[in-house]
């Protein structure tokens, strides 16, 4: 048990040294204050111990300079910690624009991870060294928390919405991946490994046993789920053209069925696409009827991510033609009887 023991956690991401510096600063300040309080307590206890039963000490009601001092100095210290903390926090939460994206889905009790190139892994995450990585997270059931101590990052994974975290690994090796939000019986077994690899190794790993790419899976779903019936991308379309819309600002006309001001736009990110698939009525693109059915209960969180990956990759003129193999809506629905009628 002593072999594996260490006093300090691995420092394997770009933010880790920043967090540790801040940590060290707070440690120094708090150790100093705690030591001061301890020394004064013990010192006073000895120096002013009761020497005579009849002695009544002179009172001391207050001392304005002293009191201002021990109010303002802590205020100053707190403000330094606060500002420094905000600076480090900003680096932790704001991902660089060029980060590569990986998707992770939490469920009781495992992590399912998908790379854009199509690799899927369970309870393991392979990442290259030196490249910023953004992990988009969601949950199929309860709240989980995606936590990599060696990178000093952590993000709750909340069902029904996307959250994300980012990191840039700096040291090759294998690190712990924990679920750190209590999620039921096997919470403590919802752990995995993060494997940080040299770029070349990572590319090699990617090419080994790759299934078809995530976007390719999404393309299959795009026809299978009948998206292509309306989002044809041509003149017959009954729904907006999805080519090249990802991360664009697109005009919308209705929110939850209520007409809104003309010219309102929405940012077409992952969350918006997800919402539009599950709650088509939530934000309707301007100029289109709200005729789309909901896909709630018809697609899994993983499939959603694949469709989003596909829409993301969908460029001008790439919408596939509708084929006869595409099943009719009735078939899809019969295959996935919706239990959510109540």
Partner 1 sequence: MATVGLESKTFEKFADVVGHDDDLNYLNHDHSVLSWLFTLDHKRIGLLYLVTITLMFLLGGALAGAIRLELLTPKGDFLTADTYNKAFTAHGIIMLFFFLIPSIPAVLGNFLVPLMIGAKDVAFPRLNLFSYYLYFAGSVIALTALLLGGVDTGWTFYTPFSSTYSNSYVIVMAVGLFVVGFSSILTGLNFIITVHRMRCPGLTWFRLPLFIWGIYATSVVQLLGTPVIAVTLGLLGVERTLGVGIFDPRLGGDPILFQHLFWFYSHPAVYIMILPSLGVTSEVIATFSRKNVFGYHIIAFSSIAIAVFGFIVWAHHMFTTGISPYAAMVFSLLTFSVAIPSGIKVFSWLATMYGGSISFGTPMIYAFGFLGLFTIGGMTGLFLSTLGTDIHLHDTYFIVAHFHYIMVGGAIMGYMAAIHYWWPKMTGRLYSEFWGKLSAGITFIGFNFTFFPQFILGYLGMPRRYYEYPDEFQVLNVFSTAGATILAVGYLMPLVYMPYSFFFGEKANSNPYGGSTLEWTNTTSPPSPHNFEKTPVVTEEPYHYHAKEAAVVSH
Partner 2 sequence: MSAIKETVQDHGQHHHKDLAHHFDTLEQQHDANTLGMWAFLLTEVLFFGGLFAAYTIYRYKYSAMFEEASNHLDIKLGATNTVILILSSLTMALAVRCSQTGNSLWTGRWLLITIAFGLMFLGVKYFEWKHDYHIHLMPGKDWSGKDWWHWQYAKKAKDMEKEAHSKGSAEHSFPDRKDVLADNDPSLGVRGIQESQQARLFFLLYFCMTSLHALHMLVGFVLIGIIAYFAYQGAYSPDYYSPVENIGLYWHFVDIVWIFLFPLLYLLGAHMGH
Contact positions vs partner 2 (CB under 8 A): 255-258, 278-281, 290-294, 296-298, 333, 336-338, 340-342
Tell me how far, at minimum, the Cβ of 320 lies from partner 2, in Å.
24
The whole-angstrom separation of Cα 333 and Cα 225 is: 10
Phi-psi sector, 241: left (phi>0), alpha (psi -120 to 50), beta: beta
Residue 301 interaction partner, one of partner 2, partner 1, none, beta carbon < 5-8 Å per kind: none
Cβ nearer to partner 2, comparing 316 with 342:
342
Is the Cβ of residue 65 or residue 337 nearer to partner 2 in the bound state?
A: 337
Give yes or no for a contact between 155 and 163, defined as CB atoms under 8 angstroms apart.
yes
CB 254 within 8 A of CB 284: yes
> In angstroms, what CA-CA distances link 229 with 89, 239, 245?
45, 9, 18
Three-state secondary-structure class, residue 253: strand
> Between residues 5 and 325, which has the closer beta carbon with respect to partner 1?
5
Closest CB 195 distance from partner 1, rounded Å:
16
Q: Which residue lies nearer to partner 2 by CB, 255 or 286?
A: 255
To partner 2, the closest distance from the beta carbon of 20 in angstroms equals 38
- Strand order of the β-sheet with 173-179 is 124-128, 192-197, 173-179, 144-148, 153-157
Nearer residue to partner 2 within complex by CB, 11 or 333: 333
The listed partner (partner 1, partner 2, none) that binds 78, CB under 5 to 8 Å by sort, is partner 1
Could you give phi then psi for residue 216, rounded to 5 degrees? Answer: -65, -40
**Residue 124 binding result from partner 1, partner 2, none, given CB thresholds of 5 to 8 Å by partner type:** none
Binding partner at 318 among partner 2, partner 1, none, C-beta below 5 to 8 Å by kind: none
Q: Considering CB distances under 5 to 8 angstroms, the limit depending on partner class, which of partner 2, partner 1, none binds residue 245?
A: none
- The nearest distance, CB 279 to partner 2, in angstroms, is 5
338 binds, among partner 2, partner 1, none (CB under 5 to 8 A by kind): partner 2
* CA separation, residue 170 to residues 12, 22, 59, 126 (Å): 5, 19, 60, 13
- CB 283, min distance to partner 1, A: 16
Q: Which is nearer to partner 2, 173 or 293 (CB)?
A: 293
Q: Which residues of 167-181 are buried (b: 16+ CB within 10 A; e: fewer)?
A: bbbbeeeebebbbbb
């Amino acid at each position: 048990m002593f072999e594996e023991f260490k006093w300090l956690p691995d420092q394997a991401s770009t933010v880790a040294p920043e967090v540790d510096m801040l940590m060290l600063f707070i440690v120094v300040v708090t150790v100093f204050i705690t030591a001061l309080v301890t020394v004064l307590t013990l010192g006073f206890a000895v120096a002013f111990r009761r020497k005579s039963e009849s002695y009544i000490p002179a009172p001391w009601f207050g001392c304005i300079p002293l009191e201002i001092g021990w109010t303002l100095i802590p205020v100053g210290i707190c403000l330094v910690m606060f500002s420094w903390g905000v600076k480090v926090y900003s680096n932790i939460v704001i991902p660089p624009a060029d980060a590569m994206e990986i998707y992770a889905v939490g469920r009781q009790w495992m992590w399912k991870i998908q790379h854009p190139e199509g690799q899927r892994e369970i309870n393991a995450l392979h990442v290259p060294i030196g490249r910023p990585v953004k992990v988009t997270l969601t949950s199929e059931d309860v709240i989980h928390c995606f936590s990599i101590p060696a990178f000093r990052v952590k993000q709750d994974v909340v069902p029904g919405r996307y959250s994300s975290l980012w990191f840039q690994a700096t040291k090759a090796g294998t690190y712990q991946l924990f679920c750190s939000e209590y999620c039921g019986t096997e919470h403590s077994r919802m752990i995995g490994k993060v494997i940080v690899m040299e770029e070349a190794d990572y590319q090699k790993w990617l090419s080994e046993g790759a299934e078809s790419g995530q976007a390719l899976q999404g393309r299959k779903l795009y026809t299978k789920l009948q998206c292509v019936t309306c989002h044809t991308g041509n003149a017959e379309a009954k729904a907006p053209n999805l080519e090249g819309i990802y991360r664009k600002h697109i005009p919308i006309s209705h929110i939850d069925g209520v007409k809104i001001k003309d010219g309102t736009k929405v940012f077409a990110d992952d969350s918006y696409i997800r919402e539009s698939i599950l709650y088509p009525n939530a934000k309707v693109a301007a100029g289109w009827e709200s005729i789309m059915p909901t896909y709630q209960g018809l697609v899994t969180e993983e499939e959603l991510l694949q469709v989003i990956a596909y829409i993301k990759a969908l460029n001008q003129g790439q919408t596939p033609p509708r084929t006869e193999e595409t099943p009719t809506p009735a078939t899809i629905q019969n295959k996935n009887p919706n239990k959510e009628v109540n």
